[in-house]
């Protein structure tokens, strides 16, 4: 019996992380690696739930940690801080990712595919094409959903021509109208009403470090920013708790309007001046409106990181 290869994306899984893990498992199996298994490192969000329900497929199994020497393939991330507990002692045999590479390190040779595309699923799509492997309807919808999610229906500045082209082809295979399906999917993911404030700031939060400063950027998608801002006071309270508990120097909470492609951010901590420098704008009532800003990876993080 061959050793299992676990395939997973980052903690706080999003639609790309989940769909790409599932598709990578299937691609591996089509290539003869039957011992591949997609797993996840956290709860399925509402947007991803919409996709899985639409297809009637189960979410990958949840894992908390891995054993030393476990064979793994990382998708949609390479940062150990966003990965499974025990990753340092795993045998990483592959990475498929579209994020920057900070301090990734292994002791063994591996397959590493890094492409500056808008989505991991776009890299997988190209892999199918290159290997001339047929894409099933279900796989097409999984990849299309990941692309729609990561690029906000191709409106995010992270979108590349590769994503556009991939989605075009996947739309045909999946037999969906991307705009209609995508809007429903994104809307399903923005229903924030039954989240507590503490959950809100953790739906999609990533931690970073620069020059000894720890900072966190959390993001929620909505179709109505003012609706979320009604809860500003309570949100600030849980953000402050988090800052104190984890010794953060800065906590940025971005509320992103996915229909109009803008964000309003709430920034707290001792380094809020970094945010003001980064966007050449003053915070008012701890808030700042950022026109045309929707991407943490391409807009929020690089600007904040540069000024930290």
**Chain contacts with Mn ion (rule: CB under 5 A):** 14, 16-17, 76, 120, 150
* Residue 150 or 197 with smaller CB distance to Mn ion: 150
Q: Within 10 A of 194 (CB to CB), how many other CB atoms are there? A: 7
* Residue 17 or 249 with smaller CB distance to Mn ion: 17
Hey, which bits of 124-185 come out as E strands?
none
The token pair at 81 is: 């801080």
* Residue 221 or 249 with smaller CB distance to Mn ion: 221
Q: At its nearest, how many Å lie between Mn ion and the CB of residue 233?
A: 30
The token pair at 119 is: 């989505």
Q: Which of 81, 83, 88 is nearest to 208 (CA)?
A: 81
Q: At its nearest, how many Å lie between Mn ion and the CB of residue 205?
A: 12
* Residue 271 or 296 with smaller CB distance to Mn ion: 296
**Do 262 and 152 meet the contact criterion of CB atoms below 8 Å apart?**
no
Q: At its nearest, how many Å lie between Mn ion and the CB of residue 104?
A: 16
* Residue 73 or 268 with smaller CB distance to Mn ion: 73
Q: At its nearest, how many Å lie between Mn ion and the CB of residue 232?
A: 26
* Residue 118 or 269 with smaller CB distance to Mn ion: 118
Q: Which of 137, 142, 87, 97 is nearest to 117 (CA)?
A: 97
CB burial of 126-135 (b: ≥16 within 10 Å; e: otherwise) equals bbbeeeeeeb
Tell me the C-alpha distance between 199 and 300, whole Å: 21
Q: At its nearest, how many Å lie between Mn ion and the CB of residue 19?
A: 10
Q: At its nearest, how many Å lie between Mn ion and the CB of residue 284?
A: 31
Tell me the C-alpha distance between 133 and 154, whole Å: 25
* Residue 151 or 249 with smaller CB distance to Mn ion: 151
Tell me the C-alpha distance between 258 and 219, whole Å: 12
The token pair at 167 is: 């989605």
Q: At its nearest, how many Å lie between Mn ion and the CB of residue 240?
A: 27
Closest residue to Mn ion, judged by C-beta, is 16
Tell me the C-alpha distance between 15 and 142, whole Å: 9
Tally of residues, the chain: 308
The token pair at 108 is: 């063994």
- At residue 230, the 3 state secondary structure works out as coil
């Amino acid at each position: 019996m061959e050793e299992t290869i676990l395939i997973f994306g980052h903690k706080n899984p999003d639609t790309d992380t989940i769909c790409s893990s599932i598709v990578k498992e299937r691609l591996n199996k089509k290539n003869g690696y039957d011992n591949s298994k997609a797993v996840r490192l956290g709860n399925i969000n509402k947007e991803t739930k919409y996709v899985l329900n639409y297809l009637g497929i189960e979410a990958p199994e949840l894992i908390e940690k891995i054993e030393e020497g476990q064979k793994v393939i990382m998708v949609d991330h390479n940062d150990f801080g966003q990965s499974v507990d025990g990753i340092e002692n795993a045998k990483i045999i592959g990475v498929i990712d579209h994020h920057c590479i900070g301090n990734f390190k292994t002791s063994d040779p591996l397959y590493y595919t890094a492409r500056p595309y808008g989505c991991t699923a776009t890299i997988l799509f190209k892999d199918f094409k290159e290997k001339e492997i047929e894409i099933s309807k279900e796989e097409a919808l999984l990849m299309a959903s990941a692309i729609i999610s990561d690029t906000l229906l191709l409106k995010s500045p992270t979108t590349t021509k590769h994503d556009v082209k991939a989605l075009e082809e996947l739309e045909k295979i999946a037999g969906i109208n991307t705009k209609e399906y995508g809007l429903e999917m994104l809307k399903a993911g923005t229903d924030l009403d039954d989240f507590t404030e503490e959950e809100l700031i953790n739906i999609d939060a990533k931690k970073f470090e620069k020059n000894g400063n720890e900072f966190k950027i959390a993001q929620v998608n909505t179709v109505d920013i003012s609706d979320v801002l009604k809860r500003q006071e309570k949100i600030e309270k849980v953000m402050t708790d988090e800052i104190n508990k984890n010794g953060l120097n800065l906590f940025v909470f971005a509320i992103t309007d996915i229909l109009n492609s803008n964000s309003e951010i709430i920034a707290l901590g001792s380094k809020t001046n970094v945010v003001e420098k980064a966007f050449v704008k003053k915070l008012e009532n701890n808030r700042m409106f950022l026109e045309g800003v929707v991407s943490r990876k391409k807009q929020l993080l690089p600007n904040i990181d540069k000024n930290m």
